[in-house]
Amino acid sequence: MQEKTVIARSLNTLRKTLESDRFKGRSIGFVPTMGALHDGHLSLVDLAQADTEISVVSIFVNPTQFAPGEDLDAYPRTEAADIARLEGAGVDVIYIPKHDDMYPSGSLTDVSVAGMSDLLDGVHRPHFFYGVATVVARLFIHVRPDVAVFGEKDYQQLQIIRRMVRDLGFQIDIIGGPTVRDPDGLAQSSRNAYLTIDERKLANTISTALHRVAKRLEVGANVSDALTEAKDSIRKAGFEKIDYVSAVDSATLQDLGDGPIDQGYEGRLLAAAWMGKTRLIDNIGFVRKR
């Protein structure tokens, strides 16, 4: 019989739980989230469970990754439903830390993965990846996982976490989980709940445009031509503002310039755009054919 999920609502309880006879000495797979869980999150839980003996999922809406005026207060919070889904998935421990567990009062220490945090999304949300790296580093220290799983949906975040783990010497394997999409191609996201019915019908245009551009780059199109075409179709679908559509190196996130891509090269296309009040992001990998 599956054992009961433990809900740890403080760092102290989490530590006691992980030190208890039930869990001590077993490998830990960790999935950090901000809640409002959907199938994308649950796919990461599956990956964590496949690789380790104990699964830990955290739910914490991290204030340091929101700027004043962003949607911190409006961010969807569905804790009871989240807990039920995680219990149903057989998660061993749900960590719902208190604010003071994550940020003890007077806390001064930040983690910054400079150089990768000021590109792409970082240009438009300058605080964002500093908040993410800081909270993920703290969560890693609390949970001490062997494996942590992050979604490719937030590709820049995934690469920044990989770099932080390497730079700081965390002994954690980082696994990237493929983006889970609705049937029309829209990447699942907690923020999709903000879309009106009419906006939702058009929201998959980013994914369609990125898939089309990827195919063109794979057969040698100029990056600048392909990106211009993608921006035009995203704009025509009703996205009022495009923050960026970029082709970058899949590991370093450095821009690939305007021309055709070298044969065999692995790149990543990333985009962010506004549909009404909702900011959507998406990305896709491509390899230039030989």
Active-site residues: which are they? 41
Residue 62: C-alpha distances to residues 27, 101, 193 (Å): 26, 12, 19
Stretch that binds ligand AMP, among 6-14, 38-46, 167-175, 272-280 (CB under 6 A): 38-46
Distance CA 51, CA 192 (A): 30
DSSP 25: T
Residues forming beta bridges with residue 150, ordered by sequence position:
176
Q: How far is the CB of 20 from ligand AMP (least distance, A)?
A: 26
Residue in the block written with tokens 């700027």:
67
262: nearest Cα among 224, 218, 211: 218
Q: Which is nearer to ligand AMP, 41 or 231 (CB)?
A: 41
Q: Which of 85, 138, 142, 153: binder of ligand AMP (CB under 6 A)?
A: 153
First to last CA, the chain: 52
Q: Which of 5, 134, 159, 189: binder of ligand AMP (CB under 6 A)?
A: 189
8 Å CB contact between 34 and 119: no
Q: How far is the CB of 282 from ligand AMP (least distance, A)?
A: 9
Instruction: Verify binding: residue 188, ligand AMP, rule CB under 6 A.
Output: yes
Site string for ligand AMP, 17-36 (x = CB under 6 A): ----------------xx--
Q: How far is the CB of 188 from ligand AMP (least distance, A)?
A: 4
Instruction: Verify binding: residue 78, ligand AMP, rule CB under 6 A.
Output: no
Q: How far is the CB of 106 from ligand AMP (least distance, A)?
A: 26
Q: Where are the alpha helices (DSSP H) in 245-289?
A: none
Structure tokens, 173: 């394997």
Instruction: Verify binding: residue 97, ligand AMP, rule CB under 6 A.
Output: no
Q: Which of 116, 180, 270, 281: binder of ligand AMP (CB under 6 A)?
A: 180
114: nearest Cα among 176, 64, 164, 169: 164
8 Å CB contact between 120 and 248: yes
Q: Which is nearer to ligand AMP, 119 or 187 (CB)?
A: 187
Q: For binding to ligand AMP (CB under 6 A), which residues are involved?
A: 33-34, 40-41, 43-44, 150-151, 153-154, 177, 179-180, 187-190
